[in-house]
């Protein structure tokens, strides 16, 4: 079985090409929503190839993590400020190597739709641990659509999504938020009934 780490090591050189149509038509408009009203010390969990870097608040001090060195290598080129400051780390979101309360807020873009069910709570707890009490944790995630046409299309796309990204529409991350000791502040659709912006408070 291909692990997600092995999968992202493999696709890193082609990741931006694979994602280009979605980035242009959908993701680029969504990324600024992740950083609205956030400042100070921020954690970008699952930084990937660094697509969020262009949208970081100008006065924020951001650290990025990813499990894949190959993805981080791409992020080094796209995020020169983080790279020069040594703030790109190979790290697992379920075992963060930062002291408790290191960050004012954290974001994760399409990370939790890749994490299996058994890792949802550990990952949320770790984000809650490293974010200061009262700080926000903002997630952008795919969900299984409830409208018939999109639901059918998501089933058709599922094998490709699993093969390419190891992702699922069915992880229902927001239901794990209370179990992880976090407060659910907001959960709203930002692309039809397909993509949600979830905000929790540490």
Q: Which pLDDT tens digit goes with each residue over 138-180?
A: 999 988 777 766 676 667 677 666 666 767 777 899 999 999 9
pLDDT tens profile 40-90: 999 999 999 999 999 999 999 999 999 999 999 999 999 999 999 999 999
What CATH superfamily classification does 4-201 receive?
Answer: Vaccinia Virus protein VP39 (3.40.50.150)
CA 79 – CA 59 distance, rounded (Å): 15
CA distances from 97 to 90, 93, 165 (A): 10, 9, 25
Question: By the 8 A CB rule, do 74 and 17 touch?
Answer: no
- pLDDT, one tens digit per residue, over 22-34 is 888 889 999 999 9
| pTM, 2 dp | 0.92
pLDDT at 81: 93
User: Phi and psi (nearest 5°) for 116?
Assistant: -65, 165
Residue boundaries of the structural domains of the chain: 4-201
Please identify which residue in the block is written with the tokens 């809650």. 128
Distance, in Å, from the CA atom of 133 to the CA atom of 100, rounded to the nearest integer, reads 10
Helices 69-78 + 4-22 axis angle, to 10: 40
């Amino acid at each position: 079985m291909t692990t997600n780490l092995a999968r992202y090591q493999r696709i890193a050189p082609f990741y931006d090409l694979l994602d280009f149509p979605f980035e242009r038509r959908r993701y680029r408009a969504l990324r600024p929503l992740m950083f609205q009203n956030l400042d100070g010390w921020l954690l970008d969990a699952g930084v990937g190839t660094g697509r969020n870097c262009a949208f970081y608040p100008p006065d924020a001090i951001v650290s990025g993590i990813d499990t894949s060195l190959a993805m981080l290598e791409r992020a080094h080129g796209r995020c020169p400020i983080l790279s020069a400051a040594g703030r790109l780390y190979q790290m697992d979101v379920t075992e963060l190597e930062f002291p408790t309360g290191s960050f004012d807020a954290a974001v994760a873009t399409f990370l939790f739709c890749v994490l299996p069910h058994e890792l949802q709570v550990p990952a949320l707890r770790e984000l809650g641990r490293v974010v200061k009490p009262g700080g926000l944790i903002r997630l952008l995630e795919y969900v299984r659509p409830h409208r018939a046409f999109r639901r059918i299309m998501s089933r058709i796309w599922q094998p490709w999504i699993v093969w390419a990204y190891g992702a699922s529409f069915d992880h229902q991350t927001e239901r794990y938020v209370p179990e992880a000791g976090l407060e659910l502040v907001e959960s709203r659709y930002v692309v039809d009934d397909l993509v949600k912006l979830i905000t929790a408070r540490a």
